Chains A and B, each alone.
Chain A
Amino acid sequence: MKRIKRVFVANRGEIALRIVNACEELGLETVVGTSDADRDGLAARRADRAVCIGPAPASESYLRDDLVVQAALGTGCDAIHPGYGFLSESPKLAARAQDNGLILIGPPPEVMELSGDKLRAREEAARAGVPVLPGQEVPPDRDAHKAADEIGYPLLVKAAGGGGGRGIKLAHDRDELGNLLSLARSEAGAAFGDERVYLERFVANARHVEVQIAADEHGAVVHLGERDCSVQRRYQKVIEEAPAPNLDPATRNALTAEAVAFATAIGYRNLGTVEFVLDADTGEQFFLEINCRIQVEHPVTEAVTGRDLVALQIHIADGEPLGFAQQDVVFDGHAIECRLNAEDVARGFMPSPGTLSLFSIPDLHQLRVDTALCAGATIPPYYDSLMAKLIAHAEGRDATIDVLLEALEDLDVEGVETNRALLISVLAHDDFRRGTITTDWLERAIV
Chain B
Amino acid sequence: MPLSDEDVREILRIIDESDLTELRLETEDFSLHVVKGERRLDPPVPAPTPTPRPRQPPADDKPTAPEPGTADGLATITAPMLGTFYRAEAPGKPPFVDVGGRVEPDTIVCIIEVMKMMNSVTAGVSGTITAVVPENAELVEYGAPLFRVEPA
Contacts and interface: CB of A to CB of B under 8 A. Distances in A.
Interface residues of A, number: 41
A350 B3 contact: yes
B141 A51 contact: yes
A53 B114 CA distance: 11
Contact of A45 (B9, B53, B141): B53
A251 interface: no
A40 B51 CA distance: 7
B65 interface: no
Given A54-B81, A56-B16, A70-B115, A76 B4 contact: no
B20 interface: no
A52 interface: yes
Given A53-B142, A55-B142, A67 B5 contact: no
9 contacts: A48-B55, A51-B82, A53-B82, A54-B142, A69-B115, A70-B115, A74-B83, A350-B8, A351-B8
Given A36-B142, A48-B53, A70-B83, 15 more contacts: A40-B51, A46-B54, A52-B50, A52-B82, A53-B82, A56-B16, A67-B83, A71-B82, A74-B84, A74-B139, A348-B2, A349-B5, A350-B8, A381-B8, A381-B12
A49 interface: yes
A76 B82 contact: no
A48 B9 contact: no
Given A49-B53, A52-B143, A55-B16, A67 B61 contact: no
Interface string A30-52: 01000010011000111111111
Contact of B50 (A39, A71, A382): A39
A66 B117 contact: yes
Contacts of A348: 2-4
A96 B117 CA distance: 14
B51 A75 contact: no
Which label, helix, strand, loop or mixed, suits the secondary structure of the A interface? mixed
A70 B82 contact: yes
Contacts of A267: none
Contacts of B2: 347-348, 350
B68 to A, nearest CB: 19
A31 B139 CA distance: 13
Contacts of B57: 48-49
Nearest to B4: A348
B3 A66 contact: no
B93 interface: no
Between B17, B50, B60, B82, the greatest number of chain A beta carbons within 10 A of the residue's beta carbon is seen for: B82
B73 interface: no
B82 A36 contact: no
A348 B81 CA distance: 36
Given A45-B51, A349-B5, A385-B5, A54 B82 contact: yes
A75 B53 CA distance: 15
A58 to B, nearest CB: 9
B67 to A, nearest CB: 14
A351 B56 contact: no
B29 to A, nearest CB: 12
Contacts of A351: 5, 8-9
Contact of A96 (B5, B53, B56, B115): B115
Closest A-B pairs by Cβ, 3 of them = A74-B139, A348-B2, A66-B115
A75 B63 CA distance: 11
Interface string A344-355: 000111110000
Contact of B56 (A44, A46, A48): A48
Nearest to A65: B115
A55 B83 CA distance: 13
Given A45-B54, A381-B8, A52 B16 contact: no
B33 interface: no
Contacts of B24: none
